[in-house]
Amino acid sequence: MPSEPFLSQYPQIDLLISNGKILDGSGSDAFVGDIVIVGDEIVYIGDTNFSNEAYKNRIKLHIEAEERIVSPGFIDLHSHGDPLKTPAFENFLAMGITTITLGQDGDSPPVPILRNWLNEIDEKGISVNLAMFVGHGTLRDLSGISVEPDPSEEDLNRMLAILDSTLEYTFGLSTGLEYTPGLNANEAELTALAKVVGKHQRLIMSHIRNEDDDQIVASIEELIKQGKHAKVHVSHIKSVYGKGADGAKEILKLLQNARQNGVNISADLYPYNASYTGISIVFPLWAKTQKQFDLAKTERRSELEEFLRNKVTRRNGPEATLLGTGPYTGKTLGDLAREYEMPFEQVLIDIIGPKGASGAYFVMNDELQTQLLLDPTISFSSDGRIEGFHPRGHGAFAKLIEEYVTNRKIISLPELLRKMTSQSAQILGIDNRGLLKEGNKADIIIFDPEQVKAVATYPKPHQLAEGFDIVIVNGKIARRNGKADDTFYGKVLQPTSHNTP
């Protein structure tokens, strides 16, 4: 029971969660206890005995957890969306996520001062907390470098200066080296960027240059080089058409060796065997932009056809590409080939083009990805967006519990939750969330793991997850029994691990 001084310090209790099975996010086993919240802060964890009549009138709101799990809200290390358009983000709340990360894959809002955009979000409200990254591709565009492979010193310095000022209030830099314009960056540019990120003690999150099984090692090694100057992180780690547990072991060993050499490297993963991105992913480096594509179409037509034929075939064929935008939604590339009565590579060239669609690609191997998922150092992301045509945007964090704890029983709930909460907070450098601890912010979820279900499927990807009965953001109930509050309680987070000169 809390001491008398404690009770006089907090004459009013905003929220009491009693009798929960507390999994605090550290990986320790559950213990039964109560959590006391004042304002947005956890002020006490233990046995309150507040059911005692003497205290009842001090408690504004009381949730009886009835021995359900009480844990920190999940932190999504790779999310997408526009909070100015869809601030409610019920897709994330419904799967227990209380903090998202935006500005991913090298792509943040193309505004000259990101701070203004973030202030607008704070003013208009957002249902979940937001940890923001600034995109390398966006910085290239803002500084006039765009797709130039060899930027002038003046342009490069302009980009570094924008990065430098933006890192004061963001969590780091994201790169998208598989996408234009980021793919044009050379080693010198990436090193220069990493030095600025390191100076601010921030993080580089990278969609690495190439995730194919024969390129992934080289691509991670490229990131490790940046890791000599800053903390680095592999986004949505995967081996495209790699197979078997050995493929995962090789990747994990590479990360382990880098850590032994003093590089602070981490990674996240989403629990699905299909990726989702723009169709340009299957086009060659020389036909990714519209301009390049128009030229390639007339001057290198047969070469382009052959490239696409081989690439898609290697990616498990046209039936393994499920399109998710516009008129193609729900159709595979194979379906379109039959519909238009032409080979799929011609559909890609004459009907769709590199900018014409996004799709889900069934290119991952379950054994390999599961091996990665179980590794203690790997954390998690949804890589989801509310309107995206992939179930990860509404299901990822529920699926982690449903599939790997409840159904397959290959990881314990305390360990999985640690990877979904405190480890993710540590990666981002958030020191007051991700762990249920006195003094930390009250981002808390209450659930029965047996009831957690990822309802979203590939044909119906927009179905909300079930089972997270209560989702608390900054001490307020953001969603309860399937109903989201009309008020938003999320915040634009400020990085805390700063040590700026």
Instruction: Return the number of the residue (369 or 474) whose C-beta is nearest Zn ion.
Output: 369
Minimum distance from residue 176 beta carbon to Zn ion (Å): 6
Nearest 5°: the CA angle 156, 161, 167 is 125
Minimum distance from residue 320 beta carbon to Zn ion (Å): 19
Q: Residue 304's closest CA among 314, 291, 295?
A: 295
3-class SS at 212?
strand
- Backbone φ and ψ of 474, nearest 5°: 50, 45
Q: Residue 471's closest CA among 446, 441, 442, 435?
A: 446
Minimum distance from residue 107 beta carbon to Zn ion (Å): 9
Instruction: Return the number of the residue (24 or 107) whose C-beta is nearest Zn ion.
Output: 107
Compute, in degrees rounded to 10, the torsion defined by CA atoms 243, 248, 376, 429: -110
Q: Which residues pair with 62 in a beta bridge?
A: 16
Instruction: Return the number of the residue (103 or 242) whose C-beta is nearest Zn ion.
Output: 103
Question: Taking CB positions, which residue lies at the least distance from Zn ion?
Answer: 207
Instruction: Return the number of the residue (200 or 209) whose C-beta is nearest Zn ion.
Output: 209
Minimum distance from residue 232 beta carbon to Zn ion (Å): 15
Minimum distance from residue 184 beta carbon to Zn ion (Å): 17
Beta strands in 363-414 (DSSP E): 378-380
Minimum distance from residue 104 beta carbon to Zn ion (Å): 6
**Strand 378-380, strand 444-447: pairing:** unpaired
Tokens of 41: 């802060």
Instruction: Return the number of the residue (14 or 105) whose C-beta is nearest Zn ion.
Output: 105
Positive or negative: CA dihedral 72, 77, 83, 86: negative
Instruction: Return the number of the residue (233 or 331) whose C-beta is nearest Zn ion.
Output: 233
Minimum distance from residue 325 beta carbon to Zn ion (Å): 17
Tokens of 78: 């790779």
Q: Return d(Cα 193, Cα 159) in angstroms, integer.
A: 9
Q: Which run of H or of E encompasses 472?
A: strand 468-473
Instruction: Return the number of the residue (175 or 422) whose C-beta is nearest Zn ion.
Output: 175
- Backbone φ and ψ of 219, nearest 5°: -70, -40
CB atoms within 10 A of CB 457: 12
Instruction: Return the number of the residue (105 or 345) whose C-beta is nearest Zn ion.
Output: 105
Q: Which run of H or of E encompasses 351?
A: none
Interacting residues with Zn ion (CB under 5 A): 105, 207
Q: Return d(Cα 116, Cα 499) in angstroms, integer.
A: 23
Residue 158, judged by CB atoms within 10 A of its CB (0-12, 13-18, 19+), counts as middle
Minimum distance from residue 261 beta carbon to Zn ion (Å): 26
Distances (CA, A) of 438 to 41, 60, 416, 432: 8, 19, 22, 10
Instruction: Return the number of the residue (207 or 233) whose C-beta is nearest Zn ion.
Output: 207
Minimum distance from residue 136 beta carbon to Zn ion (Å): 12
- Contact (Cβ atoms closer than 8 angstroms) between residue 17 and residue 50: no
Minimum distance from residue 441 beta carbon to Zn ion (Å): 28
Instruction: Return the number of the residue (76 or 335) whose C-beta is nearest Zn ion.
Output: 76
